[in-house]
Amino acid sequence: MLDRLRSAPPLVGCITNSVVTNFTANVLLALGAAPAMVDIIGEAGPFAATADGQLINVGTPTPEQRGASMDAAVAARRAGTPWVLDPVAVGTLVQRTALAHRLIAQRPTAVRGNASEIIALAGSGTGGRGVESADDVESALDAARSLAERFGPVVAVSGPVDAIVSSDRVVRVGGGSAMLTRVTGGGCALGAVLAAFLAAGRAVGVDALEAVAAAHVVYSAAAEIAERSSSGPGSFQPAFLDALASVDGAELERIPLS
């Protein structure tokens, strides 16, 4: 899938939060994909219908972005564009929680969040501490399965060991670096990477769960490479972009899967 992504770059539409827009675009470019930050009403829907993949992140949901997000979700579902919902801080904040519930009804291909966000989105918790999780990954598995069964997505629960959950399967991806939690956009950019891998996976006949797991493997491998060559968060971020551009099969094989 990574070879396919690099040889035929998928066009990924991104509606994401203002804090991480630049980093998300750079992550996609480093990986080999083509980002497009299309987040206004009247453009987001038509773009999502023609893009190869779409991210909808509710991190800073302005009124314009709320309307654009719904337009993009409806258009992606109708056109069959694989799309990813990232329910940032859902459960703790009222407006984005209501928006995320409306969005998941449009049946995303994948949902990505931390354990508290996934539990809150499923209606069985009140969220974490802002964007930080108050729950561990294993405690969110039932909520993830519930979302998968009710709305159809693959659900990726992020933590020290990520869990990729469908209605009947769980894949765990280890590795990575805690340094991703000390730079802005480490989790949010991963949502865009999922959209890129869902597009690449579709092109080579790989199902959504395996495509999402592959995205996590690549992300974890790049984070490990970056950590080895950096001295702190300031040097980690550019090293991570370099690692995404150069990561290869040998590094991917080192990431533990179960």
Annotated binding residues for ATP? 112, 158
CB 82 within 8 A of CB 109: yes
Could you give the C-alpha distances from 231 to 30, 226, 228, in angstroms and in order? Answer: 21, 10, 8
Question: Taking the alpha carbons of 185, 80, 75, 30 in that order, is the dihedral positive or negative?
Answer: positive
As annotated, the binding site for substrate includes 37, 185
